Amino acid sequence: MTKKPVSCEAPSSTAYELQIEQEHIKKNLEHVGHKILVLSGKGGVGKSTIAANLAVSLSLANKRVGLLDIDIHGPSIPKILNLEGRKIQVLGERMLPVQIGPDLKVMSIGFLLPDSDNAVIWRGPMKNQVIRQFLKDVKWGSLDFLIVDSPPGTGDEPLSIAQLLGDADGAIIVTTPQQIALSDVRKGISFCRNLNIPVLGVVENMSGFLCPNCGQQTEIFTSGGGEDMARQLGIEFLARVPIDPQIVQGCDTGQPYVRQNSAGETAQAFRQVTRRVLMLENESKATKADSNQKGAGRMRIAVPVVDGKLSQHFGHSETFAIVDTDGDSGQVLNRKDLAPPRHEPGVLPKWLHGEGVDVIIAGGMGQRAQQLFAQNQIQVVVGAPAESPESLVSAYLNDTLQAGENICDH
């Protein structure tokens, strides 16, 4: 049953353009299992090193992997993977990624540069155009994972990439242990929360020096700060990667570390990061199984509640009624009441998606929140009156819901 949500504002032309672009990108990436962003607060912390080793590691686990390097400021992936000097091949209107072995495809902004010493001096709109083309026009084919090496920071470039990707499955935040870098992690986490991208975890890179001779670890900067911060913010801490001369050597010779090494602390750290990404496959199988359990024709509807009736301010509601229904017969089957997580932008759509909710019936809701619900495949009905969840759900199922004006409280 498809219902037309009531909208409180006309979409602006930029929002409309973004939507069209997102649709093209979605189509281009429709055979990609999971999209992962690798982010960092600033350059030089080892983001590309982690992205490249993660991609290679996943391909060594027989996954089909794409590595997309759109770090305009320092596209170092060609160097790390010994692909310097490669040029982009075009087939019709599509660009072909460079294939390494049977399972790894790579596309990099670096392939557009005449040589590795050339800085990219494109101006804003041009950069944007190139990034958009990379997302829309690269022929990836079927992939299990697409790893995106994003520009550093939380500014306009990473923002536009994350928005264009639309439904990234997760982000890995790379940092170094110093306090200054840690404040960037906070920004990275709120960046992801605002965009509703799940943070898979934090990687603390260059965390202590691993002596190649005696194998002893020396703390050069204070270390463990990334771990403390991750704990404070309720984010998973994935791994500490030490300063390891073999990583530098690997980057310089185009032989990524994980291809050459499988023992020791550094290899173990890369395995931990890879394992977390591989877990996404099991998580999505579990979500699918859960939604199959609901059965054909079943629909789960959420209603924000206060004093037993619909709350007009869904974002501040302390209880959500989750009502299971039989969409075919229009019957309410059962109801449970859940307390939502702490209110922050983007948290509720993700949480309700995790609860298997298909539709939310709300009083007022702003355009941005509606977009976030749509990105989580939750249909929004706004302008509903303050009545009990059961009566609203029944009215909705029987097409008699009197939806009034959407009064946005944002």
CA atoms of 62 and 91, how far apart (whole Å) = 27
Helices and strands in the chain, H and E counts: 13, 17
Alpha helices for 61-123 (secondary structure H)? 77-80
Q: Among 393, 385, 384, which residue's Cα sits nearest to residue 357?
A: 393
- Asked if 192 and 199 count as a contact pair (C-beta separation under 8 A), the reply is yes
Q: Among 157, 214, 162, 154, which residue's Cα sits nearest to residue 185?
A: 154
The nearest distance, CB 362 to ligand ADP, in angstroms, is 41
CA atoms of 364 and 8, how far apart (whole Å) = 8
CA atoms of 345 and 348, how far apart (whole Å) = 8
**Does 108 contact ligand ADP by CB under 6 A?**
no
The nearer residue to ligand ADP, 246 or 394, going by C-beta atoms, is: 246
Select from 6, 7, 21, 43 the one that contacts ligand ADP (CB under 6 A).
43
Select from 25, 49, 304, 315 the one that contacts ligand ADP (CB under 6 A).
49
Count, residues near ligand ADP per rule CB under 6 A: 18
The nearer residue to ligand ADP, 46 or 363, going by C-beta atoms, is: 46
Cα angle 198, 287, 268; round to 5: 55
Q: Which residues pair with 100 in a beta bridge?
A: 104
Select from 45, 68, 81, 384 the one that contacts ligand ADP (CB under 6 A).
45
The nearer residue to ligand ADP, 74 or 340, going by C-beta atoms, is: 74
Pick out residues in 183-222 that bind ligand ADP (CB under 6 A).
205-206
| Three-state SS sequence of 27-66 | HHCCCEEEEEEEEECCCCCCHHHHHHHHHHHHHHCCCCEE
Helix 265-294 crosses helix 47-60 at what angle (to 10 degrees)?
70
The nearer residue to ligand ADP, 243 or 378, going by C-beta atoms, is: 243
Select from 5, 35, 40, 401 the one that contacts ligand ADP (CB under 6 A).
40
Q: Which stretch binds ligand ADP (CB under 6 A): 12-20, 40-48, 218-226, 295-303?
A: 40-48
Select from 36, 48, 273, 350 the one that contacts ligand ADP (CB under 6 A).
48
Residue with tokens 């909710």: 357
Select from 46, 97, 346, 364 the one that contacts ligand ADP (CB under 6 A).
46
Pick out residues in 75-94 that bind ligand ADP (CB under 6 A).
76
Q: What is the pattern of x (binds ligand ADP, CB under 6 A) and - over residues 226-255? A: ---------------x-xx--xx--x----
The footprint of ligand ADP (CB under 6 A) covers 40, 43-49, 74, 76, 205-206, 241, 243-244, 247-248, 251
